[in-house]
Amino acid sequence: MDTIIGQVVDNYKIIEVIGRGGMGVVFKALDLNLEKTVALKMIDPFLARDENFLRRFKTEAKALARLDNRNIVNVYALRETEFGLFMVMEYVQAKTISEWLREKGRFSIKETIDITKQILNAIGHAHKIGVIHRDMKPNNILLGENGEVKVMDFGLAKVVQEHGSQSTVTYAAAGTLYYMSPEQIKGLKNVDNRSDIYSIGMTIYEMLAGRSPFEKSESEFAVQKQIVEGKIPSLLKYNPIIPKDLVKFILKAIDKDADKRFKDISEMQEALSNIGYQEDHDVTRVVSKYEKTSNGESKNIVHSKKNKKLLIAVSVIVLAATFFFSYKIFFQKDAKVEKTITNDIKGNNSEVTKEVKQARLNITSNPSGAAVILNGEFYGKTPLLLDSLEVKNYSVTLSLNGYEEWSNNNYQLSAGENSINQNLKQVPAAANSTLSLNMDVPGNIYIDGKRYSVSANQFLTKNVFAGKHKVKFVNEKNIGEELTVDLKEKQNKKLNCYFNRQVSIQSLNEAGDSFWGNIFVNGNNTGIPTPGNITLEAGTHKVTVKKTGYTTVENEVSLKINPSFKEESLSLVFHLK
């Protein structure tokens, strides 16, 4: 599918891939008629061959196009082209809730309630016109910098069709395991809008806890058993400041018995509106840990009303103290202290002061403009100030074309201020061409027979002479790929060698509906349900889908993955009977 990047399809210029899933690939594209950026979801060619799936997808796409809500990603059109079936959707510049959680940690109570209101607005609208999402999770909720929520990916949605006086729909197990309701796990036919309510409840839980209630080390079966029969850990275990009413609200949403949950979104919205909380019991996520004072020094920001009162009290004392003492209090730049106001659920309020070890790193180079790479990740170019870093050892690399690369693989970052000021050595004028080489797994890269050990996705940049060079990439299993590169004077050649291949796997029942099963690779259960994506490294693998009481028509499929200089993906469809 990636081969269409740069091409014009049905008057849409394909720009880049912005997402992949079990159903297909999502591209960023430009509508040439309207000069507007859109998202194009292309259905996997393997699924497009299945007439039942294609018919169901078209029916659902038409229903989803009726969803007109500011908190739902809009569907504009459905196009059949020479490259397959496309859904034209609204392009949203935002991050998912999952990405925000990874970057900033758990959400504050206020943020969570504001976001939840918008989620309920979106799903409530969908339910009213008969659309059940069935895959609500943090990764399917976009959150913009302005706080606006957009619910996306109705790829597993079911449309409730009216037949006379009754609504009859056959549901297959679908969704993402951690957020699937007990009735979805059981594969019951009467899965309804309350399953979405359960998934929303689990999403709220994760936003406030900063993590899922399930341990990643647990097997798929263990998680399923916990969802259906076991006990979900108390939210207060991970975040003890949550008000009682909000805890009860979440517990009601994720009750194992669907009849004990909120009966619909409207009831859920009403309950949410009645939840009271005091903002000074809340912990607001700190986007930037530091703020400049009037004289240019840095001081820690404390986000809470009670903290502000404390600062006022401290200021009164400081006015009575000497100037030297006030200077020491307000402008010292040692280890920072962040105060968190906690609310004991039993009614006892207490204030906890916790020392947070943080570091700042100021990186400069001569000349400036060198790429800064920390632990294999690009952070920017010199001069660069990095704030709120964890105190630990880092691998630091400075790289600038025309200069020798500087590295320190064991740089100890201390609490407070740190600095690196490096004079880069210019390479001989004759060696003015550059090779930038990368592989997506650990291994060795050879340039003209000289070996360099590399980590996964850590670019190896070397200045070389113009002319031909033999380059070879070898993984830890001694599987490799090589080619000869012919460089001109001052040419910068960038090469990526891909040993991993993403494989999208879908399983269908005899009616052609998406049907949940377990993905097995080389006889081992991956713990990933269908539809899902797995990553296979170079080599030969046997892949299949299993589900108790069912067999696959295809049995095992043998896949041989070869290293490639082009990022590619594969798709497999299994039929269960």
Tokens of 538: 């170079």
Q: Which residues pair with 89 in a beta bridge?
A: 39, 75
Indicate which residue of 31, 44, 135, 440 is catalytic. 135
Q: Catalytic annotation on 135?
A: yes
Contact assessment for residue 512 and residue 52, using Cβ atoms and an 8 Å cutoff: yes
Query: Degrees (nearest 5) of the Cα angle 493, 434, 429?
Result: 145
Sequence-distant (6+) residues with CB within 8 A of 494 are: 436, 437, 438
Question: Reduced to 3 states, what is the DSSP secondary structure of residue 88?
Answer: strand
Hey, CA dihedral for 85, 519, 95, 63, is it positive or negative? positive
d(CA 205, CA 220): 20
d(CA 220, CA 244): 31
Contact assessment for residue 388 and residue 290, using Cβ atoms and an 8 Å cutoff: yes
Contact assessment for residue 441 and residue 537, using Cβ atoms and an 8 Å cutoff: yes
Q: What is the CA radius of gyration of the chain?
A: 27
Phi, psi of 132 (to 5 degrees): -105, 125
Burial environment of residue 353 by CB neighbours within 10 A (0 to 12, 13 to 18, 19 or more) = exposed
The distance of Cα 518 from the centroid of its chain, to the nearest Å, equals 23
* CB burial readout 365-391, b (16+ within 10 A) else e: beeeebbbbbeeeeeebbebebeebee
Report which DSSP code applies to 286: -
The distance of Cα 28 from the centroid of its chain, to the nearest Å, equals 18
Residue 162: HSE in the Cβ half-sphere, 13 Å Cα cutoff:
5
Contact assessment for residue 570 and residue 558, using Cβ atoms and an 8 Å cutoff: no
Burial environment of residue 7 by CB neighbours within 10 A (0 to 12, 13 to 18, 19 or more) = exposed
Residue positions annotated with a catalytic role? 135
